[in-house]
Chains A and B, each alone.
Chain A
């Protein structure tokens, strides 16, 4: 069981503001879903993990990228060739 306080702290970790009056409903829903997830406690590995997978990398070389003006076109706030974000401190 998780509590409303825990849900509030998860929301904060996820950078999502939820209203106080919504906390109760989210908590009830999360508990029902997490209870359903308990079926995973019964899972046992049927064998070794996969050994047939390989990573696909490319050389770290400079390639053409999108034009700066195209990329900046979608940003809410820009200055010269930079995107402005909220304050860090």
Chain B
């Protein structure tokens, strides 16, 4: 039955940028279920900021494909969630609308960049939310907030209406309290869409199965190497032992291209960002730019004032990486590295069904703990490979260290989103809450 959802849950974590107090909904599989949408996904008639002051007040005239699908299934969209500006960050500290806090400990970050969606789910404000994952932005906050988050195979969910940051890497994906909820949301948003030229016609209709007997799980040495907190590694090894006792076969494996995957990721995403974010000049949307002075004077001042520091840093790094004389050293090499990472995953996933390891090398950071950009970037080392390879990856809660949630990451073959969901579901049935 269609109706109106009154959204009055208290937002103690600053999870939302925009709230809809009375959200109308229709009939369908998600009828009356309150759903939150990350604020870089276009919602018709509802402010969409990307967490940036440069888009404050922007009201999209159209819905993203995934939002159309949510509405068709009757969901009550109760608001737009906070994020690192344009998705650029690992903590949701870089938002133009203030940081989101972790519902498990307000002194810690919720992870990012889909930190608002993760916090809204973890705090019980909504059962499910949409996030986006360019280099771990669904899986990282899912791990830090103790919820489930899936980055689908590249191409499986349409990016139409997602405000682009790094097109070749990013995917929209479901986040939820349970694997079953994530599977339900995936069934709704996974549809072919001709408006995204990278969209595959491969729908998702799958009830999760906990049967993993005989399935092989590869454990890459690189996922337990330097920089991974030993307590987190132990927690994840215990989780893998749980899968083994449920009948899975565990094998060691190696992904040598991990050595340069992170560098390839940051060169690629900053380069694409420098191009994608050129459109934010205050002329067509957001706070208006002045029209009196010359174009470069007005744009430079506007972008200097309205972009946050991390966005400026990445746009400038990308501008440099694409500039004459440096293209071959950075961008071209990064694309070769990206292909090597894809080949590594294809090779390993020929002999095992899935790969497992920690989602993040540590538990959620304290606010301000990572003060220089490079050390922040290094914390993405375990999540970016799946984006470079285009393969599906899920994070499922697998225990706690110092009272904070730890995520088990399961990575599968291209279009084997169903398999990673099954392994996560099996763990959820067997493992610690």
A-side residues, CB < 8 A to B, are 2, 7, 10-19, 26, 29-30, 32-34, 36-37, 39-47, 49-50, 55-58, 66-67, 70-71, 73-77, 83-89
The one of A15, A66, A73 that contacts B303, using a Cβ cutoff of 8 Å: A15
B-side residues, CB < 8 A to A, are 57-59, 61-62, 194, 197-198, 259-260, 263-264, 266-267, 274, 278, 281-301, 303-305, 307, 312-313, 315-317, 319-320, 323, 329-330, 333-334, 336-337, 339-340, 343, 372-374, 377
Residue pair B300, A16 in contact (C-beta under 8 Å)? yes
The one of B283, B292, B330, B337 that contacts A87, using a Cβ cutoff of 8 Å: B292
Residue pair B289, A86 in contact (C-beta under 8 Å)? yes
For A50, A66, A74, the residue with the greatest tally of chain B CB atoms inside 10 Å of its CB is: A74
Residue pair B323, A77 in contact (C-beta under 8 Å)? no
Residues of A within 8 Å of B274, CB to CB, are 14
Residue pair B307, A16 in contact (C-beta under 8 Å)? yes
Decide if the interface of chain A is mainly helix, strand, loop or mixed.
loop
Given contacts A10-B320, A83-B284, A87-B291, 10 further A-B pairs with CB under 8 A are A15-B299, A34-B320, A36-B377, A39-B260, A56-B198, A74-B58, A75-B283, A84-B291, A86-B289, A88-B295
Residue pair A36, B340 in contact (C-beta under 8 Å)? no
Residue pair B266, A37 in contact (C-beta under 8 Å)? yes
Closest to A38 in B: B263
Q: How far is the CA of A89 from the CA of B298 in the complex (A)?
A: 12
For B263, B293, B336, B337, the residue with the greatest tally of chain A CB atoms inside 10 Å of its CB is: B263
Residues of B within 8 Å of A32, CB to CB, are 372-374
Q: How far is the CA of A42 from the CA of B260 in the complex (A)?
A: 9
The one of B197, B284, B304 that contacts A74, using a Cβ cutoff of 8 Å: B284
Closest to A75 in B: B284
**6 cross-chain pairs, A with B, having the tightest CB-CB distances, nearest first:** A76-B288, A17-B304, A70-B61, A86-B298, A56-B197, A74-B285
With A40-B334, A86-B293, A86-B298 given, is the CB distance from A16 to B267 under 8 Å? Answer: no
Q: How far is the CA of A66 from the CA of B285 in the complex (A)?
A: 15
Residue pair A86, B340 in contact (C-beta under 8 Å)? no
Q: How far is the CA of A56 from the CA of B307 in the complex (A)?
A: 33
With A33-B377, A66-B61, A87-B294 given, is the CB distance from A76 to B315 under 8 Å? Answer: no
Residue pair A12, B373 in contact (C-beta under 8 Å)? no
The one of A10, A49, A86 that contacts B290, using a Cβ cutoff of 8 Å: A86
Residue pair A86, B317 in contact (C-beta under 8 Å)? no
Instruction: Sample 21 A-B pairs with CB under 8 A, ordered by A number.
Output: A7-B316, A10-B320, A13-B323, A16-B304, A17-B300, A17-B301, A17-B305, A26-B313, A29-B374, A33-B373, A39-B263, A40-B337, A58-B194, A73-B59, A86-B289, A86-B291, A86-B292, A86-B294, A86-B295, A87-B293, A87-B294
Closest to B196 in A: A56
